[in-house]
Structure 1
Amino acid sequence: MAGGRTKIYFDGGCRPNPGRMEAAVVVRGEAHLFDDMGEGGSFDAEWLALLEALDLACRIGLEDVVLLGDALAVVNEAQAVLDGGSGREPHATRLRELVAGGPSLRVRWIRRGQNLAGIALDRRRLR
């Protein structure tokens, strides 16, 4: 698919922490919500959200992507993996697999109030 860089927002969470994990991904203004992601802590939930975002980018054929999330530790670790470093397994391995056949990718931190995926999760919880 031709075009410029596509911004994809991701956010993961669990309640309680640790607890049932959930995630949201927003691409091109459309929110995708993920349940039944198992039990875990917030760090794993954020990683799973990032991986869901990248998997979605691959499925819809995006070529140049920036993943935007508000979990600084996950963003930093994912970017380190992309730069050839290590990361928490099995998340780092899955990231490498998706990138191998997928889009050009960057991962960047944004403030919570700017994270459209976080906003989607908050709205869902209020229902």
Structure 2
Amino acid sequence: MSRPPLKIYFDGGCRPNPGRMEAAVVVRGQVHFFDDLGVGSSSDAEWLALCHALEVAQASGEPLFDLVGDSRGVIGQASGAMPCRTPAARLHRGRFLAAASTLPPRRLRWIPRQQNLAGIALARRRDPGPVRNGSL
């Protein structure tokens, strides 16, 4: 019996927009935060989050993995389902495809924001609120 593919959640953000970018990647309940990503737009932050998710996935040693996020635009552009209309998006997509050439994701998948564990982790980091059980 084969195991299901590993799910790697990603999310990027910036405050203000454009502003200082950050990203989060969640794999197996473990959160990886990426700071000091420079200044850019929310789209730039999502692309950087996707690339960091790919790096984390490739480093996991799992040959089958899905990259899961809540940015329809970035997922659509990265998968080729939507055109990259800006030079920045074309540059980000080129970098992503080059990095994915050695070990690509099985699938890029969109989910609603409220189901994105990486987005939840970023939101909790900004406004921790009450801690329930210490994990995602």
How far apart are the structure 2 equivalents of 1:86 and 1:100? 20
Q: Do residues 100 (structure 1) and 101 (structure 2) align? A: yes
What's 2:127 paired with?
126
What's 1:34 paired with?
34
How far apart are the structure 2 equivalents of 1:72 and 1:6? 20
Q: Do residues 22 (structure 1) and 16 (structure 2) align? A: no
Contact residue 58 and residue 98 of structure 1 kept, 8 A:
no
Q: Do residues 12 (structure 1) and 12 (structure 2) align? A: yes
The offset of 1:106, in angstroms, is 1.0
SS at match of 1:89: helix
What's 2:92 paired with?
91
The offset of 1:86, in angstroms, is 6.1
Larger Rg: 2
Task: List runs of 5+ in structure 1 lacking aligned partners.
Answer: none
How far apart are the structure 2 equivalents of 1:92 and 1:104? 14
What's 1:111 paired with?
112
Call closer, same or farther: CA 1:113–1:42 in 2, change over 3 Å: same
TM-score by length of 2: 0.83
What is the alpha-carbon root mean square deviation over aligned residues?
A: 1.7
* Count of residues in Structure 1 that have an aligned counterpart in Structure 2: 123
TM-score by length of 1: 0.89
How far apart are the structure 1 equivalents of 2:57 and 2:68? 13
Aligned residue type for 1:121: L
Aligned residue type for 1:60: S
Give the structure with the larger strand fraction.
1
